[in-house]
Amino acid sequence: MKSSEQFANEWKLSVRSINDLCNKGKIPGAIKEGRRWLIPDDAVRPADKRVASGRYIRKPIASKPLPIGISDYVRAQADYYYVDKTMLIKEFLDQKPLVSLFTRPRRFGKTLNMDMLRVFFEISEEDTSKYFKDKAIWSCGAEYREQQGRYPVVFLTFKDVKFDSWKGTIDKISDLLQEEFGRHQVLADSNKLLDYEKAYFAKIINGDASEVDLTASLAKLSQMLTKHYGKAPIIIIDEYDTPIQEGYSKDFYEEIIGFMRNFFSGAFKDNRNLTYGFLTGILRIAQESIFSGLNNLTVNTVMDEEYDQYFGFTDSEVRDMLQYYGAANMEAELKNWYDGYLFGSTEIYNPWSVINYVSKGCVPQAYWVNTGKNEILEDVLKVATDDITERLYSLLKGERVIARIDQNVVYRSLSEDPVNIYSLLLVAGYLKALKKELQADGSYLCEVSIPNREIAAVYKSEILSHLLQIGAITRTTSDKIAESLYANDYARLQKAIAEYMDKTVSFYDAGAEGFYHGLLLGLIALMDNQYKIMSNRESGDGRYDISLIPRETRYPGIIMELKWKKDQSEEALNKLADEALAQIDELRYDTEMKEGGIQDILKIGIAFSGKKISIKTYSKV
C-alpha cells in the first residue's frame, strides 16, 4: 500500500485531489487509517473529468472563472483569472505622450486595458488604489503610485456603435455622451461653472443636444472638468473606428467621417484642457483627416516594439494560465491554434480564443472568428483582383507572400488600390508580418502569412466562398468530394468536381493548370480537420501537385496529379488523366507518405480542358 502523497507525485495531482477521489470511492481498494488514505500499489489513475477528446483536464480546487467577455477592470481582477497588464501604465508614464492611439485586432483586450487606465487615473470618492496594490505597477515606486486617482477621466467606448443608418449611429453616440456626462453629475451644481456651461451640460443630459452640440461635447466637457477639479482630464476613446467601419459598409461614410473629424479635433487638437488622451481601434485612419493637424498624436501599431506585450497574451502568461487550470500538457495544441501573431518583435496569442479554449475543456475550435460577422473580409474580397486571388490561395496553402503594408490604409482606399487588402488583413488580425523592411514612404515591405489554424479556418469558410463566387455551393460541393473520397466512390467524385466546374468556370476565364490547381485546392481545403493539405512539395523524384496526409489512420493518404490542355476530345482527356495517374508512380510521389508510415494511399490523376474533366484513380495498399 502507498500513501496519498506518493500517488500524488506519481499521478501529478494534489494530495487533496487524491483524498477526494478516495472519499468518492473512485480508487478501488483504498482504505482509510485514521486521517490518512492508503492505496493499493497497482491502483490505476481514475479517468474522471474527461472532455470529449478523452484528454484529462484537472482544475484546481476553487479556481477562478475565466473572464469571457468581461471588460470591467475592477470586476475582472477581483472575480476572475486576471492576466496582469498594469505595466502598460508604467511604460506610458515613462514616455508621457500627450495623445496615444493603439491599433490592434478586435478581442485583443483593448477595452479592458482602457478601463484599467480609467480606474487607475480617475479621481474617485472610493479608494481605488486597492485594485492595484497586488499588481505589478504598485511595486514600481512612489512616482507611479502618486499618479493613481489624481485626474478626472472621460471614457467612451464605441465598440457597440453598429447601426445600419447615420440616424441610428448618431442617436447611439448621443446616448453614450449622455451617460458619460451623467457620470460627472457633480458639474451640474458646480459653483465654478458659468450658467451657460451648466445649460449646455443640461442639454446633453436631457438628450436635447443637436448634432453640432455633440461635435463640441468632448471639448466642452474637458473644459468644465478642468474648471471644477483644477486639473485637466484624461480622455479615453475606445474602438473609435467601429462606427467608421459601419459607415463604410452601410453607406453613411461621409457623415460619420465629418462628425468624427470635428468631435476628435475639439478633444485632442490644441486642447489646453487635456492631460492625456488615449484612443484604440483596428485602423489608423490618418488619411481621412480625422486627426488633421494633430501633431501630438503617437501611434502604436502591430508593427511597433513599444507596448508589444500588453494586448494579447505572451508565452509566459499562457503557460501560467495552463498551469493554474491543470492543462499544462495542452500547450502545444493551444500554440498551434491561437499563437502566431507578431506584435513588434513579441509573439502573441489571441486572448479571446485562449480563455475560451481553456474554459471549454481545451477543445480547439475557431472561437475568435465566430464572435461576429467578418465585415472587413467581406469588404476587401469584393475588390480582389486575379493577382490577389492567386496570392490568397498561396496563403491558404501555408505559403508566405510578399506584400507592401501601408499603416495608413483606410476603408475606401480598397476600391482605389486593391493591393491594400494585405494591409487591412494584417491590422485586422488575419495575417502576420514575418519579415519587415521600412520603406522611404513609411510603408513596410513584408513577408506575410496566416498566423495559426484558427485564422486558416476563416480563410476556408469566408475567403473561399467569396473567391469562388458561388456561396453555399462551395461547402456543398466540398462535402460531396469529402464523402466520395471516404467512400472510395470515384464516380461520385468525378460528378461532384464536374458539377462544380460547370457552375464555377463561367465566373473565370479557364486558364492554365495553375488555375485548376487553385480551384481544386480551394475545394478540398475544408477537409483540413481530417487531412494535412500539402501542395507542390518535393517527394520521390519530383514535385506532386496536391497531397492529403491523413491526421487519423482510418483515412487513406491521397495524392493528386493535375494535367491541362486546350480543346481536348473526351478520348484525349481520358488519356491525359491516365498520364497524370502514371506520373504519380513513375516519379514516386508516394515516398513522403510511405516514409511517414502511411501505406493505404489513393492516387488520383485529373485532366482538365475548359469545363471538361476526366478522373482516373486507383488505391494501392
**Does the pLDDT value for residue 373 go beyond 60?**
no
**Does the pLDDT value for residue 135 go beyond 70?**
yes
Neighbours of 395 (CB within 10 A): 22
Burial class of 491 by CB neighbour count within 10 A (0 to 12, 13 to 18, 19+): exposed
**Local confidence band at 466 (pLDDT 50, 70, 90 cut-offs):** low
Give the contacts of 386 (CB within 8 A, at least 6 positions apart).
Answer: none
**Does the pLDDT value for residue 621 go beyond 50?**
no
More confident call, 509 vs 290:
290
* Model pLDDT for residues 297-328, shown as the tens digit of each residue: 898 999 999 999 999 999 999 999 999 999 99
Question: CA dihedral in degrees (127, 133, 137, 143; nearest 10)?
Answer: 60
Give residue 508's pLDDT: 42
* Model pLDDT for residues 38-50, shown as the tens digit of each residue: 888 878 777 543 3
* Model pLDDT for residues 510-555, shown as the tens digit of each residue: 455 555 666 666 656 656 667 777 776 777 788 888 888 887 777 7
More confident call, 407 vs 474:
407
Give me 390's grid cell.
492567386
**Please, what is the average pLDDT of the chain?**
83
Give me 165's grid cell.
443608418
**Does the pLDDT value for residue 572 go beyond 90?**
yes
Kindly calculate the radius of gyration of the chain based on its CA atoms and give it in whole angstroms: 30
* Model pLDDT for residues 172-220, shown as the tens digit of each residue: 999 999 999 999 999 999 999 999 999 999 999 999 999 999 999 999 9
Give residue 65's pLDDT: 94
**Does the pLDDT value for residue 452 go beyond 70?**
yes
**Does the pLDDT value for residue 60 go beyond 50?**
no
Residues in the chain: 621
Give residue 104's pLDDT: 94
As a whole number, mean pLDDT of residues 332-350 equals: 93
As a whole number, mean pLDDT of residues 593-621 equals: 81
Neighbours of 249 (CB within 10 A): 17
More confident call, 116 vs 443:
116
Give residue 50's pLDDT: 31
Give me 128's grid cell.
481605488
Give the contacts of 468 (CB within 8 A, at least 6 positions apart).
Answer: 474, 504, 507, 519, 522
Q: Report all structural domains of the chain as residue ranges with CATH numbers, in order of start.
A: 2-39 (no CATH), 84-300 (3.40.50), 375-455 (no CATH), 505-620 (3.40.1350)
Local structure of residue 597 (DSSP, 8 states): T
More confident call, 32 vs 425:
425
d(CA 449, CA 608): 30
**Does the pLDDT value for residue 468 go beyond 80?**
no
Lowest mean pLDDT among 48-57, 344-353, 559-568, 579-588: 48-57
Give residue 191's pLDDT: 95
Q: In angstroms, what CA-CA distances link 59 with 27, 64, 67, 538?
A: 19, 10, 16, 45
d(CA 217, CA 87): 31
Give residue 480's pLDDT: 75
| Nearest alpha carbon to residue 275 among 180, 112, 150 | 150
As a whole number, mean pLDDT of residues 75-104 equals: 96
Give residue 272's pLDDT: 94
Give residue 76's pLDDT: 97
For the ranges 57-61, 280-284, 347-351, 457-461, the maximum mean pLDDT occurs at 347-351
According to DSSP, the β-strands at 99-103 and 36-39 are: unpaired
| Percent of the chain residues past pLDDT 70, beyond the cut | 79
d(CA 353, CA 66): 11
Lowest mean pLDDT among 97-101, 133-137, 424-428: 424-428
* Model pLDDT for residues 406-439, shown as the tens digit of each residue: 877 666 666 566 677 888 888 888 899 988 888 8
**Does the pLDDT value for residue 32 go beyond 50?**
yes
**Does the pLDDT value for residue 378 go beyond 80?**
no
Write down the pTM of the prediction: 0.72
**Local confidence band at 286 (pLDDT 50, 70, 90 cut-offs):** low
As a whole number, mean pLDDT of residues 563-589 equals: 90
Give residue 25's pLDDT: 66
On whether the CB atoms of residues 181 and 265 are closer than 8 A, the answer is no
